[in-house]
Each structure stands twice: as structure tokens, then as C-alpha cells.
Amino acid sequence: MGILDFLRAKPKNTASIARERLRIIVAQERSTRGGPDYLPLLRSELLEVIRKYVNIDPEAVQVNLESDTGHDVLELSVALPDDEKKS
Amino acid sequence: MTEIIVVTSGKGGVGKTTTSASLATGLAQAGKKVAVIDFDVGLRNLDLIMGCERRVVYDFVNVIQGEATLKQALIKDKRNDKLFVLAASQTRDKDALTQEGVEKVLDELKKEGFDYVVCDSPAGIEKGAHLAMYFADHAMVVVNPEVSSVRDSDRILGLLASKTRHAEGGQATVKQHLLLTRYNPVRVEAGEMLSVKDVEDILGLPVVGVIPESENVLAASNAGEPVILDAQSMAGQAYADAVARVLGEERPLRFLEVPKKGLFKRMFGG
């Protein structure tokens, strides 16, 4: 058993998976923080509409509310897949 | 000037009370007059970790509601006469804590000449946690190298930046300190655990201390002795370093590497 374990491929580096997942979720939650409560819902509804036409990743829609002096800017960014690969 | 430090995390079980007890004890060891307050109404535990559970007569809520004076409710630590514990109420509902009541107690502690008030926050982001952080000048955010704890800490950092007296007043900010606890260098090296750098990068804050995962922490809580008093243990020394950094001293981080000592050295010290 010990020898077999030794020969087997190295286990996946789960810390790096955790790091990447956290990077994404923390960035996403920060972008909606302090903004109105409807942002997450807005984001998911937008995602549904876009998905009617293009099959995109849930992470591909970014909704940011930025406060400039005097006015707020709602910024939407949608990353489309590289044609065949992702869809 | 009284400095108010909240020890908070969002997630439960990451070491808030252990940290509050050691932070308060360490500050008192440095000659400061310190009060440590348990904000976890209904789930009092700081008294156990501090080893004064049998001396609780009056609690935080009694003082807020005028049933006892602050002097009556403050429990003087047996080991350090500059350290006082204010226990949480065990029986009342959480609504017993009010913003005015908390402010009144903190103002009274200021008048009594306390240098530091350490507020041990309950888990979550409900009323108790909110009130524990509301009046803070400093926040020690306790985080484990684990996904849910890191995410919750980020949420808490957001609340500290918006839902505190300093944030609402707009003149000052709550000084944020990140304390990484339950750190296991062996697992980090094996790629099984987030590293100090990972956590710092994700949260965008440097750590004020890294406490290694240690059997001494459980032993300390079993005995009702804050682990910082176990000066032989790595966890105790790491807490002492963190407290020194809070007081403005610069100290390098320790215990981040896999121990490379041989068996002989481990058995006989060195």
C-alpha cells in the first residue's frame, strides 16, 4: 500500500483550487458589496437572458456599480466563450 | 485614551474567544489596563477560557439594565490585576444588548482609565456581532486557512468598512488586523492548505500574526488558562508576537516553516 501510494500520481493540489475559487467569489462579492440588494438578482436575470442566445459561463457576467463623484455607473461586462470550446 | 479592539470573524469556531483571551492577557502583561467583554449573549464562553466561570455574579446585560454597577460586574483576573473580564449574560434574549447600553458601558470603562477594551464578538453578522464591532477603533479579524472562513472574513472586512461608528462618521476608519489561526505548515507545504500569502492576497491585508495549529490551545482551554500564558508553546509565543505587533513593535513571523528538527532535538529541546 505504502509503495503503491508512493508510485501513484501526486494528489491534486487542493490549496490552489481553494485559492482560485476564493479569488473569484471574493472579487464577485466585493463588486456587489455596498450596492443595492437587487444586484445579484439583476445579474442572474441578465445571465438567463443572455443564455437564450449564447451559452455562457455563470462567471462570465460581471455587474459592477461604481460611484463616481455625483453619479453612479452601472457597468456590465459579459465575456463571450471562444466559439466552440466552451459551448 | 481607551482603544477598543473587536475580535471578530463571521464564521464560528475559528478561535475568536481563544484570541480575545490571549490578546487581553497579553496586553495586560504589557502593563496595560484591559477589560475583555463577551458579546455572545446566551452562549457565554469567554469566562471558561479565562478560567473565571465560577466567579461570574453579574454580567454585561445586568450592567446595561442597571441591575449592577460596572465595578460589581467586572471580574478581576486571578493572574493579572490589570485585567478584567465582563461576562455575557447566559439567560437573556439577544435583544437585551442595545447600542445605547453598549455605549454607556464603554464610556464608563473609558472613565475608569482602561487602556484597552477587547470585545469578543459572537459568530455571525447579527446584532451581537454588529454591536461588538460598532464602537471599535481596531478590529482583529480571525481567519482559518479554509475557504468558508476566508470568505466570511472578507464579508466582515466589508462590514467593518461600512457599519461602524468610525465608518458612519466618515472621519476615521477601523484599523484592521488579520490574524491567521490553526495554521499547519506541513499541510501548506503539501498543497493541502492555503498559505499565509494566499490568504493575504485574497483578502488584501497583511497578517498581524499567524498562530500554528497546536494541541496546546485545547490544553489551555481545558485548564482555563489563556494559551499566551503557555510561553513554551508555539501558539503562546505566536500570540505574544501578535500582541507585540498590535502594540507597534516589529517582529518577524515565526512557525511558518515545516519543523526540520531531528528527533533528538525535538525530544530534548533546542
Q: What is the pLDDT of residues A57-78, one digit of tens each?
A: 877 887 777 766 777 788 888 8
Q: In the predicted model, what is the mean pLDDT of residues A4-10?
A: 60
Provide the sign of the torsion angle of the four alpha carbons B261, B185, B156, B43, taken in this order.
negative
Q: How far apart are CA B147 and CA B186, in angstroms?
A: 18
If one compares B253 and A27, the residue with the highest pLDDT of the two is B253
What is the per-residue pLDDT for B164? 93
Dump strand ranges (E) for chain B: 3-8, 34-38, 75-76, 83-86, 116-120, 138-143, 175-183, 207-212
pTM beyond 0.90: no
Q: Indicate the length of chain A as a whole number.
A: 87
Closest Cα to residue B142, out of B162, B163, B118? B118
Cβ neighbours of residue A35 closer than 8 Å, sequence gap 6 or more:
A65
The grid cell for B256 is 511558518
ipTM of the complex: 0.84
Q: Number of A to B CB contacts under 8 A, please give it.
A: 43
Question: Over 50: is that where the pLDDT of A87 sits?
Answer: no
Q: Is B269 exposed, middle or buried (0-12, 13-18, 19+ CB in 10 A)?
A: exposed
The mean pLDDT value for A4-9 works out to 60
Number of residues assigned to chain B: 270
Given a cut of 60, is residue A86 above it in pLDDT?
no
Closest approach of A41 to chain B, Cα-based (Å): 19
pLDDT at A44: 84
> Cβ separation of B193 and A15 shorter than 8 Å?
yes
Q: What is the mean pLDDT of each run of 10 residues along chain B (270 residues)?
A: 96 96 98 97 95 96 95 97 96 82 97 98 95 97 97 95 89 92 96 97 96 96 97 97 97 90 62
Q: Where are the domains of chain A?
A: 13-78
Contacts of A14 in chain B (CB under 8 A): 191-192
The third-level CATH classification (topology) of the domain covering A13-78 is Cell Cycle; Chain A (3.30.1070)
